[in-house]
Amino acid sequence: MDRSTLVADTLGRGFARLTFPAPLEEQFLQDGAAQRLLLIQIAGVGSVVFFAGVVLADLFMIPDRVGLAIALRAGVYGPLCLAGLWFFSRFSLPRMVEWAVAGGGLMAAGISLFLSLNSQAPQALAHLVILNVVVIYATMIGRFWPMLVMCLLIASGHGYAVIAKGDVFSGLGMATTLLLLSTIVFTLYGNYTLEHSDRKVYLLDLQENALQFELTEANEALARSVRTDPLTGLANRRHFDDFMTQVWAHSQAQHTSMALMLIDIDHFKRYNDQRGHPAGDRCLCDVSHVLAGTLRKSGDLVARWGGEEFAVVMGNASLDMARSTAERVVEAVRSAALPHGASSTAPVVTVSIGVAAMTPWPGVSPQTLIQQADAALYRAKALGRNQAVAAEEEGGALNRARA
C-alpha cells in the first residue's frame, strides 16, 4: 500500500486509539519531533522554575518539611529535569521523549506525595492538591497514552497517601480524592481531543500535499507532452519555435551570435521502404540519442524538425563553433554504425547538416537564419551527403553581407 492510499485508508477507518499504522506513526513522530522538542524544552524549564516556587506552598502547609522540600525540588527535580532536556536535545528519540514527559510528571508528583506522607503538619493531606497542578501542567504538554499511565499512577499514589493518613472517609480525604479524579478525567478528555485533532490535521496535510504533488506532476507531464516529440523524446516543432524566438531576442539584446543546425538523415525514405516503418521509427530514435549525447552544451536545444529532420539551436555560438559541432555530429552518427543497406552514400546511416550563424539585427527575423541553414543543408546533400556545410561557404551568409 503506497503512502497516499495508507493516509486515505487511515482517515476513512479513523484512529480512536490515537495510533496510526506503523509507517505513518513513525513519520508522524519524526515530522513533529523538532516542534515537540521545542515545546517540551520550554515547558520543562518552566516546570523547574514553577516547581521551585511551590516551596512557598510547602512553607505554609508542611512547614516541618520545608528544608527537605527545597532539597528535593531544587536539588533533585531541577537538575534531573534539565539533564533530561539536554539529553533529548542531543539525541533524536521522539517516542522516548513523550514518555519522558510522563516521567517528569511522576517525579514531581512523587516528591509531593513523599513530602505529604512524611509531614506531621495539620495541612499535610491538603498538601496533596499540588498533584492536581502536576496533572494539569503535564497533560497540557504530553501525548495521551503516556499521560494516561502517569495519571493512573498519580491517582494510585494519592489513594495510598489518603489510606496511609487514615483519612479515607474524612471530608478532606474525600474532597482531595474527588478533586484529583475530576481533574484527571477532564484533563485527559481535553488531551485526547487535542491529540486526535492534531493527528487528523496532520493526515489531511499529508493528503493535501500528496494531491498537490500529483497535480504538479500531471501538469508537468502535460507540459512535457505538449512540447515533446512522442517518438524520440526530443523537443517538438512547437518547442523549437518558442525556444528559437527566445534565443533570437536574447542574442539581439546582447549583440551576440547564435547558430542553427538543420540535420537530415540521408536516404531515409529508402531505409523505410527496405526495412519498414517500425524499423524507421527505431532508426529515428537511435539517431536522436546520438544527437542528444553529442550535443552536451547547456543552453542548446535539440528538436525534431519534422520527418527525418532534426534542428539544433545554439545560443552564444559563432559559425566556427557550430561548424565544428556539426562535424562532430556527422562523425558520431556514422560511428554509431546503424546498418543502411539501401544507402548509396555509405553502408551505415549517415546525416547531412546545414549550419548557419548570425548576430540578430533589428528588422531581421529568425526565418532568415532558418533559410540560411536550409540552403546549407541543400548544399551538403548536393555535395554528396554525409557531411556538414556552413552557410558562409556557399555564399549566402547575411553576416558577411553586413560586414
Q: Which of 25, 214, 308, 394 is catalytic?
A: 308
> How is residue 77 annotated by DSSP?
I
Q: Outline where 21-168 has alpha helix (H).
A: 22-31, 33-53, 55-61, 66-72, 78-90, 94-117, 130-139, 144-165
Q: Compute the CA torsion angle 342, 344, 348, 353 (nearest 10 deg).
A: -120
Handedness of CA 73, 77, 83, 88 (dihedral sign): negative
Distance CA 25, CA 32 (A): 11
Q: Cite the beta strand spans of 51-201 per DSSP E.
A: none
> How is residue 314 annotated by DSSP?
E
Q: Under a CB-based contact definition with an 8 Å cutoff, are residues 121 and 64 in contact?
A: yes
Is 308 known to be catalytic? yes
- 341 Cβ contact list (under 8 Å, min separation 6): 274, 347
> How is residue 332 annotated by DSSP?
H
Q: Which three cell numbers stand for residue 29?
A: 513522530
Q: Look at the block and give the residue holding cell 549525447.
A: 293
Distance CA 112, CA 335 (A): 87
Please give the helix or strand (H or E) that residue 246 lies within, else none: helix 237-254
Handedness of CA 289, 294, 298, 301 (dihedral sign): negative
Q: Under a CB-based contact definition with an 8 Å cutoff, are residues 305 and 264 in contact?
A: no
Handedness of CA 344, 345, 349, 351 (dihedral sign): negative
The residues carrying an active-site annotation are: 308
